[in-house]
């Protein structure tokens, strides 16, 4: 059995400010979407050449390989950002019922 005791004050509840909470929510949406977009871009462009994809889809537009990678990354980031944002909306706690008027009977 362990005799370890945490230092005084280590188990107190942390007080979060609204700014801290908003920053965490934004970070919890932006960072995973950025990471997932980077991984998706690497996997996708390991198989597909962006120049050939541009010739197939946008035959009248001259597109460099670097521009193809950039556009692809931002498209993947948009997709993963929307998925993370939708997830954050779904798991958000419901609003407090303090302002809700009582139903009339």
In a domain, 27, yes or no: no
Q: Is the pLDDT of residue 50 over 90?
A: yes
Query: Which residue range forms the structural domain that includes residue 67?
Result: 34-91
Residue-wise pLDDT tens digits, 18-29: 666 778 888 999
Task: Identify the CA nearest to 33 among candidates 72, 85, 68, 90.
Answer: 85
Give the number of domains in the chain.
Answer: 1
What average pLDDT does the segment 52-73 reach?
91
In a domain, 76, yes or no: yes
Give the Cα separation of 68 and 88 in Å (integer). 30
Give the Cα separation of 84 and 41 in Å (integer). 17
- DSSP state, 92? S
């Amino acid at each position: 059995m362990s005799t370890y005791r945490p230092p005084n004050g280590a188990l107190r509840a942390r007080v979060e400010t609204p700014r801290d909470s908003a920053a965490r929510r934004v970070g919890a949406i932006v960072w995973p979407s950025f990471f997932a977009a980077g991984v998706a871009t690497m996997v996708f462009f390991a198989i597909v050449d962006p120049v050939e994809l541009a010739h197939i889809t946008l035959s009248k537009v001259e597109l460099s390989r670097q521009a193809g990678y950039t556009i692809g990354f931002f498209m993947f980031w948009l997709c993963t950002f929307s998925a993370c944002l939708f997830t954050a909306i779904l798991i958000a706690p419901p609003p407090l019922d303090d302002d809700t008027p009582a139903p009339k009977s």
